[in-house]
């Protein structure tokens, strides 16, 4: 049975490690392109455990509330402390957990369960899946998650979801193949609950299309002078660059 989500029956969405919730921005675009479609953000969870500021003063929380003020009171905060039995039911669960311990730009301490790294918070998502059993799950993370160093751990996560009754569909996508002038690889894992063993779910990622935008399409024609580097900063940049080049020439 195919479920249709409309204004009368909106898609119930929850996001974990929400940030400013780019997922909801994508859903807003769907609403724009498909007027009959609608969704409701029933819960979101954003909290920086390393911040010294109260949760409502943390940048990501401020950004989320600025973009979606009508859902400002639905932040469940730290996902390691959520009582999932009292968490709202949802059709779709997004979980873009921290990438700092996986990314090539970080120390790559990994995301093994119980390791205490920032990225290992992904294993708390399992508690949400067990308690709420959403129809759809979606992970987005850095490319390194499926490279040789961490692929076994990624496959273990998929095995956990399969054990909980989900069919998994992983795919590495590059933003440049979908209309954005940026070479940005990200792993997406769409997981769909298996409700009928005789008719398992299927999912197909969108096809790539030709990029028609360039960097110049994103640049403003007139930029306020406050965004320009001062002459002294520019001179320092070029003098440093020239010194480095001279060292290489030597």
- CA nearest 24: which of 94, 90, 98? 94
Give the contacts of 41 (CB within 8 A, at least 6 positions apart).
13, 14, 15, 21, 24, 68, 71, 74
Which tokens belong to 234? 């520019």
Options 17, 90, 99, 138, the catalytic residue: 99
d(CA 19, CA 48): 10
Q: Is 109 helix (H, G, I), strand (E, B) or coil?
A: coil
99 catalytic per annotation: yes
Contact 134, 91 (CB under 8 A): yes
Cα–Cα nearest to 15, from 59, 85, 68: 68
Nearest to 179 by CA among 140, 208, 143: 208
- Quick one: which of 102, 88, 75, 60 has its CA closest to 16? 75
Task: Show which residues are catalytic.
Answer: 99
């Amino acid at each position: 049975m195919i479920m249709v989500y409309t204004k009368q029956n909106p898609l119930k969405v929850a996001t974990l490690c929400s940030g400013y919730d780019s997922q909801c921005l994508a859903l807003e675009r769907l609403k724009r392109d498909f007027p009959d479609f609608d969704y409701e953000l029933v819960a979101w969870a954003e909290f920086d455990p390393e911040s010294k500021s109260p949760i409502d003063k943390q940048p990501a929380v401020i950004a989320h509330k600025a973009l979606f003020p009508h859902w400002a009171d639905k932040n469940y905060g730290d996902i390691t402390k959520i009582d999932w039995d009292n968490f709202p039911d949802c059709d779709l669960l997004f979980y873009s957990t921290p990438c700092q311990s996986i990314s090539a730009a970080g120390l790559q301490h990994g995301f093994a369960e119980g390791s205490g790294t920032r990225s290992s918070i992904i294993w708390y998502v399992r508690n949400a899946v067990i308690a709420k059993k959403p129809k759809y799950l979606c992970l987005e993370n850095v490319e390194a998650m499926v490279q040789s160093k961490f692929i076994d751990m990624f496959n273990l996560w998929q095995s956990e979801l399969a054990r909980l009754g989900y069919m998994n569909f992983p795919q590495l996508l590059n933003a440049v193949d979908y209309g954005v002038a940026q070479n940005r690889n990200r792993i997406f894992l769409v997981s769909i609950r298996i409700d009928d063993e005789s008719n398992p779910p299927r999912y197909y990622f969108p096809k790539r299309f030709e990029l028609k935008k360039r960097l110049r399409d994103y640049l403003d024609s007139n930029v306020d002078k406050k965004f320009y580097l001062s002459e002294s900063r520019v001179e320092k940049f070029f003098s440093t660059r020239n010194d480095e080049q001279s060292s290489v020439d030597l």
